[in-house]
Amino acid sequence: MALEIQPIGEVIAGRSEVADDYWGGVESVIQLNKDEFPIDSVQGLEEFSHLVVVWHFDQSSPDDVEYHARSPRGNAQWPATGTFAHRNHRRPNQLAQSFPRLLEVDGLRLRVTDLDAVVGTKIYDVSPFFSEMGPRGPVREPVWPSEMLVDYWARRS
């Protein structure tokens, strides 16, 4: 059975151009659907420093999805890795997760920073980040993500 979900909101302010890097310092606003959610649906959210935001790469084409192993960002210096070892728009459902810092709750508007989604992006879920639900034990990863993402959270000069 297929899961059918509807967006609960949209990014209405922030960065408007899609790019691989320089997301540092970008403030964004997520507007939750006013017709669906009462104001008290966000009650208590302001007590949290970070959110888990599930969103869709809706400005990408389903034709962008690739199931084979490939070098990240087309850089042959990094090893070819399979679809499920990537975190980009070429994944099967083109879903993403971000962990932005919550700056303000203003009614059903959530002002955040470090949300790497552009204006117009559909939001499918928002929840608080609980430290206890984060990774347990040491985190292990290869070298290439750190090399690839060296400028990801840098500020645009």
The residue range of the domain holding 109 is: 9-148
Of the candidates 99, 129, 130, the one whose C-alpha atom is nearest the C-alpha of residue 115 is: 99
What is the mean pLDDT of the segment spanning 127-137? 95
Q: pTM above 0.85?
A: yes
CATH number at residue 120: 2.40.30.70
Residue 30: inside a domain, yes or no?
yes
| Cα within 13 Å of Cα(42), Cβ side | 25
Residue 53: inside a domain, yes or no?
yes
Model pLDDT for residues 59-106, shown as the tens digit of each residue:
888 888 888 898 988 899 999 999 888 888 888 888 999 999 999 999
Residue 92: inside a domain, yes or no?
yes
Residue 156: inside a domain, yes or no?
no
What are the residues whose beta carbons fall under 8 Å from the beta carbon of 144, sequence distance 6 or more?
Answer: 72, 78, 79
